[in-house]
Amino acid sequence: MTVDTQELLDRIQPAQGGREIFDPATGELVGRAPEATAEELEDAVARAKAAQPGWAARSDQDRSKALHAAADAIETNAEQLAHLLSREQGKPLNGPNARFEVGACVSWLRATAEFSLEPETLVDDDSGKAVLHWRPLGVVGAIGPWNWPMMISIWQIAPSLRQGNTVVIKPSGYTPLSVLALVDVLNSALPADVLIAVPGRGDLGEKLTKHSDIAKIMFTGSTATGKHIIKNAADTVKRMTMELGGNDAGIVLDDADPKALAEDLFWGAFINTGQTCAALKRLYVPESLYEEVCESLVEVAKNMPMGVGLEEQNVLGPLQNKSQWEIVDRLVKAAKDSGARVLIGGDPEEGATGYFYPTTLVADIDPENPLVVEEQFGPALPIVKYTDLEQAIEWSNTLNVGLGSSVWSSNPERAEEVASRLVAGSTWINKHGAIDPRVPFGGARESGFGVEFGTHGLKEVSQPHVISR
Ligand code: NDP
């Protein structure tokens, strides 16, 4: 059944004009996105600044209730939001995709509503007393990507609001409608001006990052843009959380059971059709298990339908945009040209509608190949053979990024020992990319800094204030 998203679109589209947004699977028009002017950005920041003291003055319990009410509003509109997300982003309704993403928005809001940062008594003795309080920062500027536009927006919005900040959010120009619709739904439950969306492209984002009334930037996107933002935010000494690109390694140990792990390995790599910051992007497999792992992955891959998001049977979709399609195509071609063995996929249909790239597994690939060392951000997994575990650990740690990583083994203690030697913000055992609202998530090296989620995440959107006597 196709759910009517027109009502949502009517509330967010401009009366006339706007930038046309097309479905990456079908090329059909999804809707028209408004574009905020520099004056509208100024107005948004001024309103968010004016609303912030009143929001911060509410009780902690009140703000917690508001987040639960916002989660209720998403639940009421869940199917419409999932359908709009599917059409604009391309991801299927089913599998770990659109409905899953909308559901995650609800869970993250509810979990964040239940966290709280209590004042910490640091000293209380004859010498005196020192208590650390967590104050709001002011107005948070949130800038997000196009791969998980709703969920990542919630990751930025929920902790910021929880701690008494207000938020001005700039969605990715590729997926503005999803975020505008989400913000519209959230605002049906939130007080005026605590959350304001300003749709526009990178130039508008840049203005936000330089604005003197923005206290903190929460950014998720590419490392290149992240570096640009860090420079731009220097003049106003903004706080920042930077969730940037990654190239996550997974190491299979020689005691693993390939058949038992195959499906989890597959989804670790192909969640959201590979367009996930912390997806498994290069897999290292010991020679003794190599063929068995390759065969098991092919078996899983063969049975995962890819297609138009609104067709219920599909669990893999198109790339969201042409540039991303071209990155994946270039990297797979580089692998093929080097003589690597394509196990499945690797041959996109010429002239097909939509930015579909077939599920691709590449074996017998050199560890230095561009498909291994560059972030593909799409449905193409290189599987590298190793003979010495030390070598696999070294390859895993050799790049300048370190968002996630994983170790796959039948022996959890041994896996943990290997995990402790990997440079990453998160290392999972026998799973990859399994995030949890209670568990901090962030990157090492050029994958960024700062963490999201849990009480650690709340601290990132708070000003520590110590009162001593
Ligand atoms: P970008 O980093 O270009 O975009 C992310 C966000 O930043 C968008 O909202 C973008 O706006 C905005 N932006 C762009 N330039 C500026 C600027 N100068 N100042 C402030 N904000 C700015 O990522 P892309 O969407 O182009 O994706 C490119 C690559 O990034 C991918 O191939 C992938 O490797 C990585 N990526 C990583 C993600 C992650 O979750 N870590 C998510 C998405 C992408 P707009 O797009 O409207 O111009």
pLDDT digits (tens, 9 = 90+) for 415-450: 999 999 999 999 999 999 999 999 999 999 999 999
Task: Find the Cα–Cα–Cα–Cα dihedral 68, 71, 77, 78, rounded to 10°.
Answer: -140
From residue 419, alpha-carbon distances to 154, 257, 326, 361 in Å are: 29, 18, 33, 25
- Residue 404 predicted with pLDDT over 80: yes
Provide the pLDDT for residue 456.
Answer: 98
- Cβ of 89 less than 6 Å from ligand 1: no
Whose CA is closest to 378, among 308, 316, 307, 442?
316
- Segment 307-336, tens digit of pLDDT: 999 999 999 999 999 999 999 999 999 999
From residue 220, alpha-carbon distances to 41, 225, 432, 443, 452 in Å are: 20, 9, 19, 11, 11
453-460: average pLDDT: 98
> Has this prediction a pTM greater than 0.85?
yes
Provide the pLDDT for residue 208.
Answer: 98
Task: Find the Cα–Cα–Cα–Cα dihedral 157, 110, 316, 451, rounded to 10°.
Answer: 50
Residue with tokens 């998160």: 426
Provide the token pair at 328: 């994946």
**Beta-carbon neighbour count of residue 287 at 10 Å?**
11
Provide the pLDDT for residue 270.
Answer: 98
- Reading phi first (left if > 0) and then psi (alpha if -120 to 50, else beta), residue 444 is in beta
From residue 59, alpha-carbon distances to 54, 55, 108, 164, 365 in Å are: 10, 9, 20, 9, 57
From residue 48, alpha-carbon distances to 14, 41, 43, 150 in Å are: 22, 11, 9, 20
- Residue 1 predicted with pLDDT over 60: no
Based on its alpha-carbon atoms, the radius of gyration of the chain, rounded to whole angstroms, reads 23
| Ligand 1 atom closest to Cα of residue 448 | 41
* Secondary structure (3-state) at 324: helix
226-241: average pLDDT: 97
- Residue 199 predicted with pLDDT over 90: yes
Provide the pLDDT for residue 395.
Answer: 98
- Cβ of 244 less than 6 Å from ligand 1: yes
What gap in Å lies between CA 239 and CA 446, rounded to an integer?
Answer: 17
Q: Which domains does the chain have, with CATH numbers?
A: 6-244+447-468 (3.40.605.10), 248-429 (3.40.309.10)
Provide the token pair at 280: 């498994």
54 Cα: distance to centroid of ligand 1 (angstroms): 32
Provide the pLDDT for residue 102.
Answer: 98
Mean pLDDT for all residues in the chain: 97
- Pocket test residue of 150, 153, 172 for ligand 1, highest count of atoms within 8 A of CB: 172
User: DSSP character for 362?
Assistant: E
Provide the token pair at 460: 């990132």
Whether residue 109 contacts residue 68, with contact meaning beta carbons closer than 8 Å, is answered with yes
Which residue type sits at 457? G
* Main-chain phi, psi angles of 77, to 5 degrees: -105, 20
What gap in Å lies between CA 107 and CA 285, rounded to an integer?
Answer: 35
- Cβ of 209 less than 6 Å from ligand 1: yes
Give me the percent of the chain exceeding a pLDDT of 90.
Answer: 99
Given 101, 243, 375, 452, which residue is catalytic?
243
Q: Spell 46-84 as b/e; 16+ CB within 10 A means b.
A: ebbbebbeebbeeeeeebbebbbebbebbeebbbbbbbb
**Beta-carbon neighbour count of residue 263 at 10 Å?**
15
Residue 2 confidence class, pLDDT cut points 50, 70, 90: low
267-281: average pLDDT: 98
Lowest-pLDDT range of 5-9, 37-41, 60-64, 202-206 = 5-9
Whether residue 308 contacts residue 314, with contact meaning beta carbons closer than 8 Å, is answered with yes
- Cβ of 172 less than 6 Å from ligand 1: yes
Q: Roughly how many angstroms between the first and final C-alpha of the chain, as a whole number?
A: 65
Residue 3 confidence class, pLDDT cut points 50, 70, 90: confident
Provide the pLDDT for residue 4.
Answer: 83
What gap in Å lies between CA 261 and CA 264, rounded to an integer?
Answer: 6
The strand pairing partners of 143, in sequence order, are 170, 219
Nearest CA to ligand 1 atom 22: 202
What gap in Å lies between CA 280 and CA 382, rounded to an integer?
Answer: 10
32-38: average pLDDT: 97
400-407: average pLDDT: 98
What gap in Å lies between CA 260 and CA 265, rounded to an integer?
Answer: 10
Give the DSSP per-residue string, 126-161. Answer: TTEEEEEEEEE-SEEEEE--SSSHHHHHHHHHHHHH
- Pocket test residue of 211, 217, 220, 225 for ligand 1, highest count of atoms within 8 A of CB: 225
371-399: average pLDDT: 98
Instruction: Dihedral sign for Cα 443, 248, 225, 33, please.
Output: negative
What gap in Å lies between CA 138 and CA 53, rounded to an integer?
Answer: 8
- Cβ of 229 less than 6 Å from ligand 1: yes
Q: Angle, to 10 degrees, between the axis of helix 60-76 and the axis of helix 78-89?
A: 70
- Residue 154 predicted with pLDDT over 90: yes
Instruction: Dihedral sign for Cα 334, 365, 278, 447, please.
Output: negative
| Active site annotation includes 446 | no
- Cβ of 147 less than 6 Å from ligand 1: yes
